């Protein structure tokens, strides 16, 4: 099995892709050992002393002024985990939990959390065994850390929680024992360090971002196929137009559309004698819209990559090589960067779907596309793509509601001690349904555009677009008359998410969505 060596503070996006996918093992770079030990020694000294230190010998949140006796410090940490396991809802997907385990280990290994090596190793051991803690999806407001979901993850490490095995909840302890992993025993501050932090919201947002790669590539391809099916102009993709604006994503997107259309017989067939002056925006403005979404996704990538490498618990330990040290309370657990990034990605996902829905509407409108009404030969007897478009419209409308920013909806918690929260965890979690909606919209567009191409035969499209057409036809036959269309939509949905169109886009145009 391939192995990834984690260098704390330097995890790459490529490594995060592999971690999410699974099938790899994780190890910690040797350089982390000494700083972890120095940090842990600071906390152990604080626990042995008399001065109050938040989270070490005090209660939590509004109870921070309550002192805890030395003999109860371990119980304090265990009780913290138990009491914070209050999540509800469906379990998080295994890929998300794998990202949580890995990024929490990497964060603690930065040596500012005061935990022992055993804590980091426990996270790595569970990951390497292929175990997936059972973590309910709902219950975090994205501040003071993702407390509830990270507590469920931690309780599994302690042998008192649950694991997700073949989609079913099972007790964690037998699974740990089966793989020779001793349940973790917490010491001072370690429970707090494990559940303070943004690893759940970050993992959910990373899941959304990594899924967006395939969706975005598929939308570029489906948009180009619709352009050719509608016999649209490639003039709006002229590089000079985009160079004078200077937006990098727009320039790259326009270049991709140009490359996808090179050599199309359909395009050449209407260079002379076509009386249309300008195409509708859903065709003409694709580089502007999709380019802006590309830039948006890269901003999100940069924020999330920083957060995946960050130290986000509290209080933090700053231990120096000369033996001096400080423990400082702060607010790195506040997930506002993740919340704003998730909101930005949500808007991009919605926009990709919104303009695709408009292209479907254009294709079925014979007055604009000049194709048969609803893309069927005998309209009236056949409804063609009439109601497939209705489905796309319904999904685009759902996305408009889901794209409302989560980050502006703070609610105070912990008796007003935690009086402004980010809502990053919901903001990131809602990306999944939005991606499903938009992937279905793009799937419907692929079907509609491919049907449009059928009406232009024997003319052919470009080589890459003909490849897309053939790939779609492997599982989705033409529709000269009405047939059961829902299975075709699901097969097209799988094609959108499967990565084949992303590979084709990169191979044909050189465009890489997220490097």
Q: What is the pLDDT of residues 431-460, one digit of tens each?
A: 999 999 999 999 999 999 999 999 999 999
Residue 105 in this model has a pLDDT that exceeds 80: yes
User: What is the crossing angle of helices 386-402 and 431-454, to 10°?
Assistant: 150
Return the closest-CA partner of residue 371 out of 464, 479, 452: 452
CB–CB of 422/408 below 8 Å?
A: no
Residue 101 in this model has a pLDDT that exceeds 80: yes
How sure is the predictor about 49, in pLDDT bands with cuts at 50, 70 and 90? confident
Return the closest-CA partner of residue 313 out of 95, 72, 84, 111: 111
Residue 4: strand pairing partners: 26
According to the model, what pLDDT value does residue 64 have? 67
According to the model, what pLDDT value does residue 65 have? 73
What is the rounded CA–CA span in Å between residue 417 and residue 399?
Answer: 34
According to the model, what pLDDT value does residue 482 have? 95
How sure is the predictor about 8, in pLDDT bands with cuts at 50, 70 and 90? very high
Mean pLDDT of the region 239-244: 98
According to the model, what pLDDT value does residue 273 have? 66
What is the rounded CA–CA span in Å between residue 515 and residue 509?
Answer: 15
CB–CB of 432/208 below 8 Å?
A: yes
Q: What is the pLDDT of residues 53-64, one digit of tens each?
A: 777 887 776 666
According to the model, what pLDDT value does residue 253 have? 98
According to the model, what pLDDT value does residue 63 have? 67
Size of the chain in residues: 515
User: What is the crossing angle of helices 199-229 and 431-454, to 10°?
Assistant: 10
What is the rounded CA–CA span in Å between residue 298 and residue 79?
Answer: 41
State the maximum Cα–Cα separation within the chain, in Å, rounded to a whole number.
Answer: 89
What is the rounded CA–CA span in Å between residue 135 and residue 97?
Answer: 8
Six token digits for residue 420: 């402004």
According to the model, what pLDDT value does residue 417 have? 77
Beta carbons within 10 angstroms of residue 413's beta carbon: 17
CA 261 to chain centre: 30
Mean pLDDT of the region 308-324: 91
According to the model, what pLDDT value does residue 469 have? 98
What is the rounded CA–CA span in Å between residue 318 and residue 41?
Answer: 11
CA distances to 173, 285, 404 from 298, in Å? 41, 20, 20
Mean pLDDT of the region 348-375: 97
Residue 116 in this model has a pLDDT that exceeds 90: yes
How sure is the predictor about 142, in pLDDT bands with cuts at 50, 70 and 90? very high
According to the model, what pLDDT value does residue 41 have? 93
Query: Exposed, middle or buried, 157 (CB in 10 Å: 0-12/13-18/19+)?
Result: buried
According to the model, what pLDDT value does residue 375 have? 97
The mean pLDDT of the chain is 94
Return the closest-CA partner of residue 286 out of 311, 315, 261, 316: 261
> Which stretch of 388-402, 410-424, 430-444 has the lowest confidence by average pLDDT?
410-424
Instruction: Give yes or no: 54 in active site.
Output: yes
**Where are the alpha helices (H) located in 274-335, listed in sequence order?**
281-284, 286-308
Torsion of CA 135, 136, 142, 146, to 10 degrees: -30
Mean pLDDT of the region 142-159: 96
Six token digits for residue 54: 């938040």
According to the model, what pLDDT value does residue 412 have? 81
Residue 289 in this model has a pLDDT that exceeds 70: yes
Mean pLDDT of the region 412-433: 89
Contacts of 382 (CB under 8 A, 6+ apart): 374, 376, 481, 482
CB–CB of 116/78 below 8 Å?
A: no
Q: Which of 54, 134, 216, 484 is catalytic?
A: 54
Mean pLDDT of the region 121-130: 98
According to the model, what pLDDT value does residue 98 have? 98
Q: What percent of the chain has pLDDT over 70?
A: 99
Q: What is the pLDDT of residues 251-273, one digit of tens each?
A: 999 999 999 999 999 998 877 76
Bridging pattern class, strands 316-319 and 88-91: unpaired
Return the closest-CA partner of residue 144 out of 338, 339, 313: 313
């Amino acid at each position: 099995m391939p192995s990834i060596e984690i260098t704390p503070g330097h995890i790459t996006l490529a490594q995060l892709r592999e971690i999410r996918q699974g099938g790899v093992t994780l190890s910690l770079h040797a350089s982390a050992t000494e700083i972890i030990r120095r940090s842990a020694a600071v906390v152990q000294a604080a626990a042995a002393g008399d001065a109050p230190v938040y989270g070490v010998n005090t209660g939590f949140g509004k109870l921070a002024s309550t002192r805890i006796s030395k003999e109860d410090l371990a119980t304090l940490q265990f009780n913290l985990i138990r009491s914070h396991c209050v999540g509800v809802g469906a379990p998080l997907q295994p890929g998300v939990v794998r990202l949580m385990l890995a990024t929490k280990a990497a964060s603690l290994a930065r040596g500012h959390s005061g935990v022992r090596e055993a804590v980091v190793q426990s996270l790595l051991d569970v990951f390497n065994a292929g175990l997936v803690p059972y973590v309910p999806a709902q219950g975090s407001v994205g501040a003071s850390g993702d407390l509830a979901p990270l507590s469920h993850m931690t309780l599994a490490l302690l042998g008192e929680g649950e694991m997700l095995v073949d989609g079913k909840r099972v007790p964690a302890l037998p699974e740990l024992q089966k793989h020779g992993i001793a349940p973790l025993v917490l010491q001072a501050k370690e429970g707090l360090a494990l559940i303070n932090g943004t690893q759940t919201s970050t993992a959910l947002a990373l899941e959304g971002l990594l899924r967006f790669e395939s969706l975005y590539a598929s939308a570029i391809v489906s948009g180009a196929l619709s352009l050719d099916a509608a016999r649209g102009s490639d003039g709006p993709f002229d590089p000079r137009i985009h160079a004078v604006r200077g937006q990098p994503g727009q320039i790259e997107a326009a270049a991709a559309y140009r490359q996808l259309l090179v050599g199309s017989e359909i395009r050449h067939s209407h260079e002379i004698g076509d009386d249309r002056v300008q195409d509708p925006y859903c065709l003409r403005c694709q580089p502007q819209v999709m380019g802006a979404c590309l830039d948006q996704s890269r901003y999100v990538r940069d924020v999330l990559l920083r957060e995946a490498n960050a130290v986000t618990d509290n209080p933090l330990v700053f231990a120096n090589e000369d033996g001096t040290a400080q423990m400082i309370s702060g607010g790195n657990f506040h997930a506002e960067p993740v919340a704003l990034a998730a909101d930005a990605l949500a808007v991009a996902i919605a926009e990709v779907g919104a303009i695709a829905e408009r292209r479907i509407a254009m294709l079925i409108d014979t007055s604009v596309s000049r194709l048969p009404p609803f893309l069927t030969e005998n309209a009236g007897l056949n409804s063609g793509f009439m109601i497939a478009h209705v489905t796309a419209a319904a999904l685009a409308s759902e996305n408009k509601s889901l794209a409302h920013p989560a980050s502006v909806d703070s609610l105070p918690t912990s008796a007003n001690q935690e009086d402004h929260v980010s809502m990053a965890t919901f903001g990131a979690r809602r990306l999944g349904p939005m991606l499903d909606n938009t992937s279905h919209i793009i799937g419907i567009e692929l079907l509609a555009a491919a049907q449009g191409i059928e009406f232009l035969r024997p003319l052919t499209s470009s080589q890459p677009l003909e490849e897309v057409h053939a790939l779609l036809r492997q599982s989705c036959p033409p529709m000269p008359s009405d047939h059961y269309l829902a299975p075709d939509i699901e097969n097209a949905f799988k094609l959108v998410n499967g990565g084949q169109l992303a590979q084709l886009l990169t191979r044909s145009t050189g465009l890489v969505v997220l490097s």
